[in-house]
Structure 1
Amino acid sequence: MESKTLIAIEEICSGHKVERTLILTMEEYGLIEVVKEGYVESSYLPRIEKIIRFHSDLDINFEGIDVILNLLDRMDEMNEELIVLRNKLSGFEE
């Protein structure tokens, strides 16, 4: 069974100097998942930091952030697919 590392929301908020409501709003919009009361999985930390930058530095609302993150996820998937296709193609080259 795989153990998940949890990070307290309060720790994230104090480290990034944001309000707790910002993290809870991220969950409301489905951008992250709070797994236990007051905790998120550590794997969400890069995503949370990206959302904080979009929202605080660029003043993008959560609907816009959702669209941006979906597009970035699609780009990552397409890049992975491109790598697989290039690897397959290299097998046919002489």
Structure 2
Amino acid sequence: MEERKLILVETVCTHYQLQFSFIEQLEEVGLISLVRENEVVFISEEKVSDLEKVLRLHEELNVNLEGIDIILNLLNKVGSLQSELDEAKKKLQWYSGEL
């Protein structure tokens, strides 16, 4: 089983100059997921990039949490549709003998 790399949320808050309550709000809305072990709160290392994306939308573009949720869902949907389109193009090329 692969070991998860966890970072203390306190460290993240210090690094990004955030209040812990803001991190909790992000978790409540479902924008990030936190790990709790023995009353200590962590974020997995791989989820820090998600946090950074949320912070950029919130701070640089002044988007509220509900708006961020909508934007991220739409971006995921666009990515999924792009993958489907790429797959359909490959099949079309194969059937037309271009591959």
What TM-score do you get using the length of structure 2 for normalisation? Answer: 0.85
Kindly state the Cα deviation for residue 43 of structure 1 after the two structures are TM-superposed. 1.7
Size of the aligned set, in residue pairs, is: 94
2:86 corresponds to 1:83: yes
Give CA deviations for 1:8-50 in whole Å, capped at 9, x if unaligned. Answer: 1122122222222221110010111112241011121111001
Name the structure 1 match of 2:49. 46
Whichever of the two has the greater Rg, that structure is: 2
Kindly state the Cα deviation for residue 87 of structure 1 after the two structures are TM-superposed. 1.5
What TM-score do you get using the length of structure 1 for normalisation? Answer: 0.89
Q: Classify the secondary structure of the residue corresponding to 2:62.
A: coil
Kindly state the Cα deviation for residue 2 of structure 1 after the two structures are TM-superposed. 2.1
Cα RMSD between the aligned structures?
A: 1.3
Kindly state the Cα deviation for residue 69 of structure 1 after the two structures are TM-superposed. 0.7
Structure 1: stretches of 5+ with no match in the other structure: none
Kindly state the Cα deviation for residue 66 of structure 1 after the two structures are TM-superposed. 0.6
Give CA deviations for 1:27-86 in whole Å, capped at 9, x if unaligned. Answer: 010111112241011121111001111111211111111111100110111111112111
Q: Classify the secondary structure of the residue corresponding to 1:4.
A: coil
Q: Give, as a single letter, the amino acid of the residue that structure 1 aligns with 2:61.
A: L
Between the two proteins, what is the percent identity of the paired residues?
34
